[in-house]
Homo-oligomer: A and B are copies of this chain.
Amino acid sequence: MRRISVTVLAVGSLIACGIAAAATTIPAAAVRTAEQLRDRALQDDTAYRIVSSLTTEVGPRMAGSDADLRAREWAVAKFKALGFDKVYTEPVTFPLWQRRSESGAIVAPFPQPLVLTALGYSPGTPRGGLTAQVVKFDSLDALKAADPASVRGKIVYIDYRMHREKDGHDYGKGSAVRTAGPPLAAAKGAAGYLLRSAGTDAHQRIAHTGVTGFRMGEKSIPAAALSSPDADQLNRVLAYGKPVTVKLDLDCGIVGEYTGANVIGEVTGRKYPDQVVAIGGHLDSWDPGTGAIDDGAGVAIAMAAAKLIHDLPQRPDRTIRVIAFANEEMGLWGGRAYADKHGDEVAKFQLGTESDFGAGPVWRMSASVKPSARDAIRQIANVLAPIGVAYDAKRPGGGGSDLSQMHAKGMAALSLTQDGTHYFDWHHTANDTLDKINPKELAQNVAVYAAFSYMAAQADGDFGSAPGAFADDGAGE
- Cα of A21 to Cα of B150 in the assembled complex, Å: 75
Which chain B residues border A477 with CB–CB below 8 Å?
none
Given A112-B290, A233-B290, A236-B52: A431 and B203 interface contact (C-beta under 8 Å): yes
Most B Cβ at <10 Å: residue of A106, A203, A237, A436: A203
Confirm or deny: A59 has a beta carbon within 8 angstroms of a beta carbon on chain B. Answer: yes
A49-84 CB mask vs B (1 if < 8 Å, else 0) is 000100011111000000100000000000000000
Q: In the assembled complex, which residues on chain B have CB atoms less than 8 Å from the CB atom of A229?
A: 431, 433-435
Asked whether B435 lies within 8 Å of A202 as measured between CB atoms, the reply is yes
CB distance from A34 to the nearest CB of B (A): 34
Set of chain B residues within 8 Å of A111, measured between Cβ atoms: 59, 67
| Nearest CB in chain B: distance from A105 CB, A | 10
Contact B203–A205 (Cβ < 8 Å) = no
User: A115 to chain B: which residues have CB within 8 Å?
Assistant: 430
> Do A233 and B202 touch across chains, with their CB atoms under 8 A apart?
no
Inside 8 A of A202's CB, which chain B residues have their CB? 435
Q: Number of residues in A with C-beta < 8 Å to the partner?
A: 33
Q: Closest B residue to A58 by CB, please name it.
A: B110
Distance from A196 Cβ to chain B, minimum over Cβ atoms (Å): 13
Interface hits, A13-68 → B, CB 8 Å: 52, 56-60, 67
User: Considering the chains assembled together, what is the distance between the CA atoms of A273 and B219 in angstroms?
Assistant: 68
B56 lies within 8 A of A236 (CB): yes
Are A206 and B203 also in contact (CB < 8 A) when A233-B290, A290-B233 are?
A: no
- Shortest distance between the CB of A200 and any CB in chain B (Å): 14
A431 contacts B205, C-beta separation under 8 Å: yes
State the CA gap A371–B355 with chains docked (Å): 69
Is A429 in contact with chain B by the CB < 8 A criterion? yes
Question: Is A113 part of the binding interface, using a Cβ–Cβ cutoff of 8 Å?
Answer: yes
Q: Does any Cβ of B come within 8 Å of A397's Cβ?
A: no
Q: What's the dominant secondary structure at chain A's contact region?
A: loop
Q: Are A232 and B434 in contact (CB under 8 A)?
A: yes
Indicate if A124 sits at the interface (CB-CB under 8 A): no
B52 touches A112 (CB 8 A): no
Does A259 lie at the interface of the complex (its beta carbon under 8 Å from any beta carbon of B)? no
- Is A289 among interface residues, defined by CB-CB distance under 8 A? yes
Is A204 part of the contact surface with B, judged by Cβ < 8 Å? Answer: yes
Q: Which B residues are in CB contact (< 8 Å) with A206?
A: 204-206
Q: CA–CA, A232 to B289, complex, Å?
A: 13
> Inside 8 A of A113's CB, which chain B residues have their CB?
59-60
Q: Within 8 Å CB of A233, what residues of B?
A: 56, 59, 290, 433-434
Contacting pair A110 B57 (CB below 8 A): yes
Query: What are 5 A-B contacts with C-beta separation under 8 Å?
Result: A56-B237, A203-B431, A203-B436, A205-B288, A229-B431
Chain A interface residues (CB < 8 Å from chain B): 52, 56-60, 67, 106, 110-113, 115, 202-206, 229, 232-233, 236-237, 288-290, 429-431, 433-436
5 closest cross-chain pairs (CB), A and B = A59-B112, A205-B430, A229-B433, A56-B236, A205-B431
